[in-house]
Amino acid sequence: MEIKKYGMDLEKLESKLQNVPNLSPNHNLNPSNKTFGNMLKEAVDEVNTRQKVSEEAMADMATGQIKDLHQAAVAIGKAENSMKLMLEVRNKAISAYKELIKTQM
């Protein structure tokens, strides 16, 4: 199950993340490759990987090829929790953006 099924185009997101600057006030403390965009991309990639593992576990359960049902349940739970966390982070980011837009200068 890829993230595209949730209404997000991963390639489009990756191209937009390349243009996100490092907003840290102390640039010397953060390595140049650890920008906010890169960290966000890594998180999205991790969620996508967990979704794929979960999908494989469900397919194995459906075909009867799985030997350890507990491990499959754990993989599915991790995928579900990581997706929920990603959606909450997205919602908080959108909320923060809307608050910034309302702010008058």
What per-residue confidence (pLDDT) applies to 1? Answer: 43
Where are the chain's structural domains? 3-102
Quick check: pTM over 0.75? no
Q: From CA 86, how far away is CA 104, in angstroms rounded?
A: 29
What per-residue confidence (pLDDT) applies to 82? Answer: 93
Segment 65-101, tens digit of pLDDT:
877 888 888 989 999 999 999 999 999 999 999 999 9
